[in-house]
Chains A and B, each alone.
Chain A
């Protein structure tokens, strides 16, 4: 199937208008030796066959029943109200480009302005950009912002080992391009916040923590911002937006930049992407922010309207001196998150957060009763939100194979993949989509593993 609409007659008329006899003549500038390669691609299929084939391909994946999935670690199965996909399916939104012509983009601009407004309320911050690719790239941009604020005088990013391992990896990749910048703090997987404080010095541009951290636990943040600021560094917090329905936002405890992955806000897991990079900061940093910003203004008749603003930070104006190279972002996912937050509202988000809290604690308590299992063995006293660490009496792969093969359950994330000290430890996520029955089934299944 091709979507080229031309009839033979139209094609002839157009070639004649251009003054060439054949289509091939349009490509005379392409070196003859490489022109018109014979590509080894499978032959095309019709829409009907395509749909059949893609359904078959999707079915080569094991069916995922979200109620029976306890895998999180950065991507989550949460309830997605039907309003979200309804809005995402509007062609006026999803087939548009970036809002460079504001007169015919007021719908998306207002939606993004509202997104920025809701993200600021949610995180307790003053300004939000219109999105990054994902949580990890938002964090990498936050680290670059901190180095930029330090204007070459500070070169160190202190990174908590309890930040998502893939986020830490992305930060390190990004900093490969930055002269003399180093990342410290995450070499020792067991380092806690107090140890990280000891690393803050005159050369530190930022401290990065995740709260709730990668292991699901709430960090002790009281007084932390003051310590970071006394050292002259920025305080960057990675968070889970769902947790902010219940817990105080990082803006309240002194964060300078808050980043998060917004997938939990109404976006399908989709095998890890596209997701949404949330990036919020203080107004004093607004001219150093990366990404699009939507601002309110008026039109020639004095009516309220919205435009992309502070473009002088961006690559299409500043080129080599831009704050970032970002152009395409994750706008449609920001629209999804805005629709999600508007639908859930104040009460709904709180309910989701409380359900995550109660269900995960029930699951943890029940699993903790099993012989040979321990919950959060490294930090049993720390409060947790929707994820927790389980130490198993058997290897994680063995347990997960049993859960899957015998019960259709997707088990937790094998923490030994990133840290050899955490062999036989898995990270489990429980959200509002998991029922008591599914949790009980998980507990029974884990009990069988130990036998």
Chain B
């Protein structure tokens, strides 16, 4: 590949070229309004072949799980089964309109009902709403439920949410959006939430705690029972960030650990494709005391003299809607199909092999890279990407990995590990791939010592080299016209 020289759709556009032909009106024409019409809408003018070649060429500049190993920590970049794409496109699902009367969409409602039940079973919850569209959307939902729960009990003074310093940025951001104040908790020397800090923070102004377990170091919280007990004892609720559920499905249920509310990332644990950043799906599970606050509608099942049927219904004390219709149904179909294909045994095997792969990489890499919390981890682990005495940093190692044909790990997160590389292989990668990745990482560590410039100037083999992000933020060219229109 010789660089991104692909013209934009506007550069390819030629006046009066057409990509589609629509039928002529088969009804008498009505005079258009005399006011409020636009003369022209400046969209590109391309042939269908232009369009196809353009996007095909763009796709070839892009790297997905289908292209190669993608060990992006906390993102669970596992194989997206192709049959699920086929299933989501079945006309019965894809052409269904969300406002059809329920008797005409019993198949869809049955699917949603079953998925609610299965997620509740997998997570150990009393109820599930499928409406949130993404993980952060689920967090926001769970926090609004937390707020509604306390307010419903007349308890208005709870304004603080405790969040470990290893948490995803979405946790404090969602906290602010839900009208709470985020209180950061430090981690202890073993990478757990600092139990003493929890003890000190817990009082009657604590609305709850947000826990990612395993945490973003990939470690199962060793004091999880004690943390949950402390927070519950002071009247707070326990929110679970389900981003790392790929270590726990079939292994342990957050509900059994005392979590009150949690979002699932169907686009992580349950393999719905990430889509280049979305759409995802972030269903929320709730314990018995929080179930009535779930956003709705949810699907209910009734059986009476007329027979059995599924219907949409609003939970009694629902916080309301968080999205239109029933959330990202197309993603629900894929997740349903995924769980159906795996069953209890398959989900447990997935988690086990995700954990096996991550531990294998940790032990294979710990000689070449520092692993600050070097003990049995769950589905991911964090090492330092800095190579002592060479000036090579996590970013450089990441960029050099691109030359070796691998997508880099998440870098500079979690914030509590300097120069972090967060590595999550997932269960769908085989040992030869992991070994090739280890070999590449070892080779990069060697290069860093022998020829650091090679690593610091990487990548060398990609369609473009390092991009000037400062220039992008300073000049803000956000549309193809921005430059020509600038004064």
Contacts and interface: CB of A to CB of B under 8 A. Distances in A.
A binds B: yes
13 contacts: A13-B431, A34-B257, A61-B92, A61-B105, A177-B143, A248-B37, A271-B96, A271-B98, A297-B471, A316-B170, A330-B133, A331-B277, A352-B22
Interface stretch (B231-239, B329-337, B385-393, B442-450): B329-337
Contact of B92 (A63, A81, A144, A292): A63
B54 A105 contact: no
B162 to A, nearest CB: 13
Contacts of B121: 39-41
Contact of B45 (A27, A61, A176, A345): A345
Interface stretch (A126-134, A185-193, A223-231, A372-380): A126-134
A309 B273 contact: no
A90 B59 contact: yes
A167 B60 CA distance: 38
A41 B177 contact: no
A153 interface: no
Interface residues of B, number: 204
A33 B121 CA distance: 17
A379 to B, nearest CB: 14
B373 interface: no
A346 B41 contact: yes
A36 B275 contact: no
With a 10 A CB-CB cut-off, give which of A4, A91, A173, A249 has the most chain B CB atoms.
A4
Interface string B70-113: 10100101111101011111111111111111011111101100
A299 B465 contact: yes
B291 interface: no
A54 B87 contact: yes
Contact of A297 (B81, B322, B469): B469
B26 interface: yes
B465 A301 contact: yes
Nearest to A66: B95
A333 to B, nearest CB: 6
B320 A169 contact: yes
User: 5 nearest interchain CB pairs?
Assistant: A272-B325, A58-B92, A272-B98, A91-B66, A60-B107
Interface in B303-343: 319-331, 333, 337, 339-343
A404 interface: yes
A164 B325 CA distance: 12
A27 B355 contact: yes
Contact of B101 (A13, A60, A400): A400
A236 to B, nearest CB: 17
Tell me the dominant secondary structure on chain B's binding face.
loop
A108 B276 contact: yes
A9 B173 CA distance: 45
A343 B279 CA distance: 22
B55 A322 contact: no
B344 interface: yes
Contacts of B399: 103
Contact of B364 (A3, A17, A26, A295): A17
A283 B32 CA distance: 33
Given A51-B83, A305-B467, A344-B19, A295 B472 contact: yes
A383 B37 CA distance: 12
A13 B97 CA distance: 51
B478 A61 contact: no
B176 A103 contact: no
Nearest to B98: A272
Contacts of A136: 321, 323-324
A92 B407 contact: no
Contact of B37 (A34, A246, A294, A315): A246
B487 interface: no
A100 to B, nearest CB: 8
Given A113-B8, A218-B36, A315-B172, 10 more contacts: A3-B427, A117-B9, A120-B479, A144-B177, A176-B144, A271-B93, A320-B175, A345-B43, A358-B29, A383-B33
Contact of B468 (A128, A177, A297, A332): A297
With a 10 A CB-CB cut-off, give which of A46, A294, A303 has the most chain B CB atoms.
A303
B481 A120 contact: yes
Given A3-B428, A6-B430, A61 B96 contact: yes
A444 interface: no
B324 A275 contact: yes
Nearest to B463: A106
A29 B40 CA distance: 64
A348 B98 CA distance: 27
B9 A342 contact: yes
A23 B346 CA distance: 15
A89 B121 CA distance: 32
A131 B104 CA distance: 31
A173 B430 contact: no
A73 interface: yes
Given A26-B359, A177-B179, A99 B276 contact: yes
B177 A269 contact: no
B363 interface: yes
